[in-house]
Chains A and B, each alone.
Chain A
Amino acid sequence: MSCATVRERAPELALGILSGAERAEVLLHVNGCARCQAFVDEHSEIADLLPYLAPEVEPPAGFERHVLAALRGDRRRNARRWVAAVAATAAAAVVVSVAAVRVIDAGRDTGSEAAPVVRSVSMTGGDGHTVGRVTVSGRSTAAVVVNVDYALADGTYALELRRAAGAAQRIGDLSVTGGRGEWRGTAALSPHRKLTLAMLDATGAVVCEATLPAV
């Protein structure tokens, strides 16, 4: 994408309304072009002010109490998840490469020699550009590996598992440096249901995702 085209798209990028495909292309260019980055930054300064036009409104009674209670609940849930993840990781055998999926010794329940459940799919951003790969081993408590190998901006991205019903489960954070990053951990899955793993930037916008087929 040329600088001229990027500058044409800069307003929409700054406003956060550029389509996924175009956004990915523009970001790719901007990451390597200081002049275009500065141009986008100037538009972002304006875009950042626009939401302030909305008036302040007192939320309903009890809102503050509910939020603080939710914060306390979130802290307790995160502590339990960490403990469970440590225990599960110690028990699971997770050896999955980016290039190929090897048979994983996990999820055995009957002592049979049936192959364990392993799902590996590409993660796409925008209109199909491959961003990386997600590999899941297991059924209900699965080992998950997420690899990113694309020109995503450096930073920390939240990882969420999303079910068809809309419920989202945050499973961790992935740090990207130089366009690359990896995350390994565990997650509680719903067998027989399709899942989507989404990467979200710090503002909560989805930058890429992968759909795991049901098993």
Chain B
Amino acid sequence: MWSVADEALLAGMAAGDPDASSAFVARFQRRVFGLAVTITRDPRVAEDVAQEALLRAWRHAAAYDPRRGSVATWLLTITRNLAIDAMRVRRPQVVDPDVLVSLPLAATGREPAEAVTVLEDVDRLRHALADLPTDQRRAIVLAGVLGFSAREVAENEEIPLGTAKTRIRTAMLRLRAVLVTEEPAE
């Protein structure tokens, strides 16, 4: 849908086209590095994670399935998994997830038209998150963005494991009820 140009770049990069590789990296490096540093909170580790994520995108380009999501989403998933792995041996001090929810999102004007659609979806997500109870919002952001396991959410929030799981599940169900069934505003 919105990733035709992105898919073409990915295919070109996989085929060894240097111009496509350069364009692919230039297009996604800020978002990939941004997610990596958000999770790891260490710019040096984030740089390694981001580089590895882009290399994996090249290595596994043939495995990318457009039916399962956009190139950007696929790439961010790779980035998130790598960043989570990098944090396995050192989970940082207590994290405040509310900062992420309050950050403004704005199109830069440089994205393909399809990317603007995703930003609109993310904006709807942000509004839906703001309507969640605080404890559920914190749990879902810790898990969904920072990759905290339920146990890590429990430790961060100083709550029982069962409570953490319930908050995560309830938050996702509420978001699903709002976002999956709601039609975007015209």
Is residue A4 contacting chain B, with contact meaning CB distance below 8 A? Answer: no
Contact with A along B52-87 (1 / 0, CB 8 A): 001110111011110001000110111111100000
Is residue A15 contacting chain B, with contact meaning CB distance below 8 A? Answer: yes
Closest to B148 in A: A17
User: Which of B34, B65, B76, B77 is close to A57, meaning CB atoms less than 8 Å apart?
Assistant: B34
Which chain A residues border B13 with CB–CB below 8 Å? 71
Which chain A residues border B77 with CB–CB below 8 Å? 16, 48, 51, 203
Number of A residues with CB within 8 Å of any CB on chain B: 46
Quick check: A55 and B59 within 8 Å, CB to CB? no
B48 to chain A, nearest CB (A): 10
Is residue A158 contacting chain B, with contact meaning CB distance below 8 A? Answer: yes
Which chain B residues border A170 with CB–CB below 8 Å? 59
Contact with B along A139-181 (1 / 0, CB 8 A): 0000000000000000110100000000000100100000000
Closest to A158 in B: B60
Which chain B residues border A11 with CB–CB below 8 Å? 168-169, 171-173
A62 to chain B, nearest CB (A): 10
A68 touching B21 in the complex, CB below 8 Å, given contacts A45-B179, A48-B73? yes
Which chain A residues border B179 with CB–CB below 8 Å? 45-46, 49
A156 touching B62 in the complex, CB below 8 Å, given contacts A48-B77, A53-B141, A63-B33? yes
Quick check: B76 and A52 within 8 Å, CB to CB? yes
**Distance, CA A16 to CA B18, complexed state (A):** 33
Quick check: A54 and B145 within 8 Å, CB to CB? yes
Is residue B160 contacting chain A, with contact meaning CB distance below 8 A? Answer: no
A174 to chain B, nearest CB (A): 11
**Distance, CA A202 to CA B60, complexed state (A):** 6
Quick check: A55 and B168 within 8 Å, CB to CB? no
Is residue A113 contacting chain B, with contact meaning CB distance below 8 A? Answer: no
Contact with A along B157-176 (1 / 0, CB 8 A): 00000000100110111011
Quick check: A16 and B172 within 8 Å, CB to CB? no
Is residue B3 contacting chain A, with contact meaning CB distance below 8 A? Answer: no
Which chain B residues border A173 with CB–CB below 8 Å? 62-63
Quick check: A68 and B172 within 8 Å, CB to CB? no
Is residue B43 contacting chain A, with contact meaning CB distance below 8 A? Answer: yes
User: Which of A48, A67, A74, A204 is close to B29, meaning CB atoms less than 8 Å apart?
Assistant: A67
Quick check: B180 and A42 within 8 Å, CB to CB? yes
**Distance, CA A67 to CA B48, complexed state (A):** 10
Quick check: B145 and A57 within 8 Å, CB to CB? no
Is residue A12 contacting chain B, with contact meaning CB distance below 8 A? Answer: yes
Which chain A residues border B79 with CB–CB below 8 Å? 51
Quick check: A54 and B38 within 8 Å, CB to CB? yes
Quick check: A203 and B81 within 8 Å, CB to CB? yes
Quick check: B34 and A56 within 8 Å, CB to CB? yes
User: Which of A10, A59, A155, A202 is close to B50, meaning CB atoms less than 8 Å apart?
Assistant: A59
21 contacts between A and B (CB under 8 A): A11-B168, A11-B169, A11-B172, A12-B150, A48-B73, A49-B122, A49-B179, A51-B77, A52-B76, A52-B105, A54-B39, A57-B30, A57-B38, A58-B30, A63-B51, A67-B51, A71-B58, A156-B63, A173-B62, A204-B60, A204-B78
Further 15 A-B residue pairs, CB within 8 A, beyond A53-B141, A68-B22? A17-B150, A43-B172, A48-B73, A52-B76, A54-B39, A56-B30, A56-B34, A57-B30, A59-B29, A64-B26, A67-B51, A155-B63, A158-B63, A170-B59, A173-B62
Taking Cβ atoms with an 8 Å cutoff, the residues of A that contact B are 8, 10-12, 14-17, 19, 42-60, 63-64, 66-68, 70-71, 74-75, 155-156, 158, 170, 173, 202-205
The 5 A-B pairs at the shortest CB distance, nearest first, are namely A50-B144, A11-B172, A57-B34, A54-B38, A59-B33
